[in-house]
Amino acid sequence: MESNSRRISKKHGVTPVHLRILQQTAHFFDNSDSQAYLVGGSVRNFLLDEPCSDWDIVTDGDYLKLGHQLANELEGYYVPMHEKACRIVLKHDQQELVIDLSPLQGGSIEADLQVRDFTLNAIAVPLANMVEHLTTNETLTFIDPLNGLADLEAHMLHAVNDKVFQDDPLRMLRAVRFLTRYQLTLESHTEQMISHDASLLPQAAGARIHEELYAILQPDGATARLRFLDTHGLLTALIPEFIPAHGMAQPALHHWDVLEHSLESVGALERLATWLQQAPEEIQDSPLETNGQRDLMEVQQLLSEAEQQGIFRFSTLTDSATKLATLLHDIGKTVTYAVDEEGTITFYHHPQRGIPLAQAIMQRLNTSSHDRRLVQQVVAHHMRPGQLRHDQLTARAIRRYFVDLGPTGIIVALISLSDHLAMRGPQPLTEHWSRHLATVRLLLTRYIRERERILPPRLIQANELMQRFNLEPGPMVGQVLEAIAEQQAEGLLHSKEEAWWFIEETFGLKRV
């Protein structure tokens, strides 16, 4: 057995409760005459002084039988995962510890480590030795046939062999997550392998891709990681709809082509979210002209009120689903690009054309129905706030916007601002930004502070309408109810009787 010993003193993240459970686990394996080794992420995180609540153990024994017995011994929950692992979940004193138990691959711990993904995950420590280290500061004995310790100390991400990504293409996304999570440098040959094997990525299950992609999108700086995915062929492997967007020019107001604009919009959303959560004096330092600063501060206050009302959460603005929606907001441009006789570039009806494309992408990524709905609404409606003029914004237009979108209209309006910021790129903002921001401020004001006025309770229900005028279910019922609601929002109808008269006069219907 290739091993080396090293005296270190690390207990970060190992609570007394966790230590007690690890002691019980080591004692269990000792009594079962089975070898047990800590491997993978648990060793990596331990060495990086990261919190340890997830322990990966491999054993040369019958892992399924041992898993059931260990769960009973520890009074935990046994969870079968797949044919190569089982999980034991333990909860004590509001602390949770997870033990993933797997069979030893290849007949030895060295052979097992050889088939892992990256060298920093290919380090093992005998479980009993780890417990001794945590209790008596015993020297740790590392089994490290691939020099993972050296790579870990150098903060280098290094594939264990040339077939790592061919064996499991999802590892390419995992590499990107690791680079960010642990501030690593990608070893040059491993980087070449990613570019070479990128086309294999869609072979991974959609649910696994979804989990890794969301983890990549979540932290700040998502644009840089998305650009890494694109540079190495991973973005278009996942979303081939973006292939035509490379180099696709846009009208003069746009600084970036369609793909770069889509990537930069995610970064613009992060910047906007930062501004909206800063103290007032910090907003003064943002790159906005005076009028924009005042409107931005008012939007900040409105969003705080919306959060108190339970119709908005600041955290939603930069969660993975919202960033993905922002990335995809202009996906319809890839199929609507045209140049007219005067040489003007157009993307007519790209929001509508983008809806089926976005739906197909979200389906492939195995996302939730909630996230699919969010992306669809952003793609379909992201241009509406920018197309409205705040000085001509009618009660009817505001009402229709929020009838269509509900509270999601807040997110869509903010994404429209990110779209505008990304459109300008490094160029100075103009009066168009001021008008756009003022429009969003007015939209949010009406919905957050005057919601009952612009969206009043219905004076008449559908069943009442059909009974009073002997109508069958159909489009006419919806048209009448919508007309009444608009009259209410404009302050022209106040009672049910007034609504009956309005229906008779406007639609020519007779009461029965």
Give the pLDDT score at 494: 80
Predicted local distance difference test score (pLDDT) of residue 1? 47
3-class SS letters over 353-406: HHHHHHHHHHHHCCCCHHHHHHHHHHHHHCCHHHHCCHHHCCHHHHHHHHHHHC
Q: Where are the alpha helices (DSSP H) in 82-126?
A: 109-114
Rounded to whole angstroms, the Cα distance separating 97 from 13 reads 11
Mean pLDDT of successive 10-residue segments in the chain (512 residues)? 53 77 95 94 91 91 94 93 87 85 94 96 96 92 96 97 97 97 96 98 96 97 98 98 98 94 98 90 64 86 97 97 98 97 94 98 96 97 90 85 94 98 92 93 96 87 90 90 85 84 88 78
Give ∠ CA 130-74-84 in degrees, rounded to 5. Answer: 70
- Report DSSP state, residue 504: H
DSSP β-ladder status, 77-82 and 125-126: unpaired
Instruction: Quickly tell me which residue has 């709905």 as its tokens.
Output: 373
Which tokens in the block code for residue 468?
């009073």
- Is the CB of residue 8 less than 8 Å from the CB of residue 125? no
Provide the token pair at 289: 């002209």
Q: How far is Cα 36 from Cα 112, in angstroms, rounded to an integer?
A: 12
4-154, what's its fold?
Beta Polymerase; domain 2 (3.30.460)
| Domain chopping of the chain, boundaries | 4-154, 161-238, 256-454, 462-507
278's enclosing H/E stretch is none
Q: Are 256 and 268 in contact (CB under 8 A)?
A: no
Task: Find tokens 């004995």 and name the residue.
Answer: 141
pLDDT score recorded for residue 65: 94
What CA–CA distances, in Å, run from 195 to 147, 150, 229, 397, 511?
24, 25, 9, 48, 71
End-to-end Cα spacing for the chain: 93
Helices 350-364, 369-381: inter-axial angle, 10-degree rounding: 160
Which architecture, in CATH terms, is 161-238?
Orthogonal Bundle (1.10)
pLDDT at 289: 57
pLDDT value of residue 249? 97
CA 113, CA 109: separation in Å to the nearest integer?
A: 6
Between strands 185-186 and 77-82, the pairing is: unpaired
Cα-Cα-Cα-Cα torsion 231, 235, 236, 237, nearest 10 degrees, comes to 110
Euclidean distance between CA atoms 334 and 336, whole angstroms: 6
